Amino acid sequence: MVKVPFLDLKAQYHSIKNEVDKKLIEVCENTAFTMGPFVEEFEKKFSEYLGVKHFVATSTGTSALHTALLAFGIGNGDEVLVPVNTFTATAEAVVMVGAKPVFVDNDPLTYNMDVSKIEQLITHKTRAIIPVHLYGQPADMEKIGEIASKHNLIVIEDCAQAHGAKFKGKMVGTFGHAACFSFYPGKNLGSYGEGGGVATNSDDIAEKMDKIRNHGSKIKYVHEFVGYNYHMHGFQGAVLTIKLKYLDGWNKRRREIAEKYTEKLKDIKDLSLPYVQKDCEHVFHLYVIRTSFREELRQFLNDNGVGTNIHYPYPLHLQESYKFVGYKQGDFPIAEEYAPKLLSLPMYPEMTDEQIEYVVSKIKEFYKGK
């Protein structure tokens, strides 16, 4: 039996171990544990990588979303459009500022926010749209941008799963008024702990976010408003600066793995494989299939040493935490139909061809009995 974990962070660590260990010792020797030069270096390097004026590092991806919403003055009485098929943090941050999340069903092909359903949900209370580049596939930023411009809405991209992805040749994170990133360890660009940040080309918004993450302060002990402690740790800045050099190469390998999966699984009729939208450079944070036999297949793969995951088992409108928003079963038919069928296969740059072949062989073996 070949063991194939869903994710192997240890393999990636060992590939850059010497660089990382040396840099972490440097952080300790400089006692630069919170913010400081190592975080500043990452902010500079990542803003250059994206091609934006500013990148404001934060403690997590959730705090990045919260910080961005606060900086744009979104709060009580406002509505923000978010996908119903996403991780809870996207909507959670909206609730954190006192606004109401208005859910949008997912596109049946890309699983991203269905742009054809956005405009009908806009009201006089709508202030912003948060498109999520789900699984590493860019949302349709051209159409979202047109709708936002027409209705004078703020666009905050959620790029937590799409570091390095491109839409029509342009990096995601550069289309909206701001863009939020998570550097949770399992991300395409992951820290060794929690981490996040916001990209923007606005000087004013960047300055405000800098204060928000630092207790409302620009000058020590002088507080303009009540803010938050959303500092990035020095260790994370150091690690992310090292890993950024490898991101494009790792993303290339992810696409290669995805192509191998797709080529070898395309003839299995029950499987719906990832659809890559035209003019998009998908970075395959996740390789998500859709199957009528999700639980059976998952158990079979697990029994044969293959790790899988489910992203996400319940659409947000059916979560207890969002019951207060007032949605009910049946309001988002695509998300509800897909949720019990989605399964994420192993996907990480260090996967070997042997491991890919093994995963494919076990999936084919499973379907022989169907």
* Cβ pair 240, 47 in contact under 8 A: no
Is the peptide bond between 312 and the residue preceding it cis, with omega within 30 degrees of 0?
yes
- Identify the bridge partners of residue 280 per DSSP, sorted by sequence position: 167
DSSP 154: E
Q: Encoding tokens for residue 138?
A: 């860019």
d(CA 75, CA 152): 17
Contacts of 235 (CB under 8 A, 6+ apart): 24, 27, 33, 38, 191, 192, 193
d(CA 254, CA 293): 25
Contacts of 278 (CB under 8 A, 6+ apart): none
In the residue annotation, 187 being an active-site residue is answered as yes
* Cβ pair 199, 55 in contact under 8 A: yes
Q: Choose, from 10, 22, 187, 211, the residue flagged as catalytic.
A: 187
d(CA 248, CA 90): 25
DSSP 134-148: GGGPPP-HHHHHHHH
User: Which residues are designated catalytic?
Assistant: 187
